[in-house]
Amino acid sequence: MDGGRALEAVEASLWRQWRGGPTVHCYLCAHHCRIAPGERGKCGMRENREGTLYTLVYGRPVSVAVDPIEKKPLFHFLPGTMSLSLATVGCNFACSFCQNAEISQMPRDEGRIIGRVLSPEKVVEEALGSGCASISYTYTEPTIFYEYARDCARLATAAGLKNVFVTNGYMTAETLADIDGDLHAANVDLKSFSDEFYRTRVDGRLKPVLDSIRRLWSMGVWVEVTTLLIPGLNDGEDELRALVRFLASISPDIPWHVSRFYPSYRLLDVAPTPVASIEKAVRIGWDEGLRYVYGGNVPGHPTESTVCPGCGEVVIERRGFRLHKNSVVDGRCPRCGWKIAVHQKEVSE
């Protein structure tokens, strides 16, 4: 229930009856929930009603805002443009350190599902009217409002907009196949390179996330990866080197954002990440073969900017999440001609 009113629902995608029903098998994400009648999956957003699975958040965003694309963070996809950012409540993870727990964990913590009514058509209208180049499905986990995101994405692509997932990467291969062609970029939150960390701190597993990163890249989706560096929990040198080697094995051009942790939600007894730890992780990224590594949540730090892997020239300068200067010309460094891995907005005459 929501404020005493019955929740409106839309039939979900990516599910089937389990052993003849009425229990259903949801295969939207890697939890692969088996949901009995009257029950909901782990995300709390998908409910079995008499043997049919419904999504409870279709067309009900809790947050709509216009952000710089750099805030996602995406540093190599349409730099300097704005993105309409969209989210519903809910998440299929239960991270103890969640940075957006007020909305992502609301259904789990408060038993509430809220949001204003906004159709996919209106979402695209707002994006175009705001001068955005893309729509980002972000703040919470886009997988849990997948049907809404997918329908928005299809209309957005037809209107000449790009689509971005800011995601924990826990979707299935079937989900990615379903949105293939209408998803253009993703920032995947690779929270750790330890399955134990995922099981105890996230309520998930590591392997499905790694599989999604591989699949996204192979699909031609532009991928950037973020790791929130938490002191004593996921910042060991061996773990970071293993993580970076994994990314570099897919492509050395995958940008890696190493973000500074601040105490939040249920993880309040861990101190903020020292800037020196961020700098060390950035060096590890470079040492292990990644060409583009960034420090996050350290405003004004030199690692916010893009450096040419060929000559060391600063080719894209950022301050905070704002683009200050972009000197990439025809995709290349103006000094040495190195091909910079960046998707720039096409300029029409």
Rounded to whole angstroms, the Cα distance separating 273 from 143 reads 29
- pLDDT over 80 at 61, yes or no: yes
Confidence of residue 322 (pLDDT cuts 50, 70, 90): confident
The average pLDDT across 342-348 equals 76
Tens digits of per-residue pLDDT, 29-59?
Answer: 999 999 999 999 999 999 999 999 999 999 9
Tens digits of per-residue pLDDT, 216-244?
Answer: 999 999 999 999 999 999 999 999 999 99
Domain with CATH 3.20.20.70 in the chain: 63-299
Query: What does CATH list as the number for 63-299?
Result: 3.20.20.70
Confidence of residue 8 (pLDDT cuts 50, 70, 90): confident
- pLDDT over 90 at 103, yes or no: yes
Pairing verdict, β 185-189 and 10-11: unpaired
Rounded to whole angstroms, the Cα distance separating 116 from 348 reads 35
Report pLDDT for 321.
85
Report pLDDT for 7.
54
Rounded to whole angstroms, the Cα distance separating 55 from 10 reads 5
**Lowest-pLDDT range of 52-61, 110-119, 189-198, 308-317:** 110-119
Beta bridge partners of 186: 165, 223
- pLDDT over 50 at 318, yes or no: yes
Contacts of 233 (CB under 8 A, 6+ apart): 192, 197, 201, 270
Report pLDDT for 118.
96
Report pLDDT for 21.
83
> To 10 degrees, the CA torsion angle through 298, 299, 302, 306?
100
Q: pLDDT above 90 covers what percent of the chain?
A: 92
36 vs 320, more confident = 36
Tens digits of per-residue pLDDT, 266-294?
Answer: 999 999 999 999 999 999 999 999 999 99
Tens digits of per-residue pLDDT, 159-213?
Answer: 999 999 999 999 999 999 999 999 999 999 999 999 999 999 999 999 999 999 9
Rounded to whole angstroms, the Cα distance separating 141 from 92 reads 7
Report pLDDT for 265.
96
State phi, psi for 133 to the nearest 5 degrees: -95, -10
Report pLDDT for 5.
42
Report pLDDT for 349.
32
Report pLDDT for 1.
33
User: What three-state secondary structure class fits 315?
Assistant: strand
Confidence of residue 69 (pLDDT cuts 50, 70, 90): very high
Report pLDDT for 320.
83
Mean pLDDT, rounded, of the chain: 95
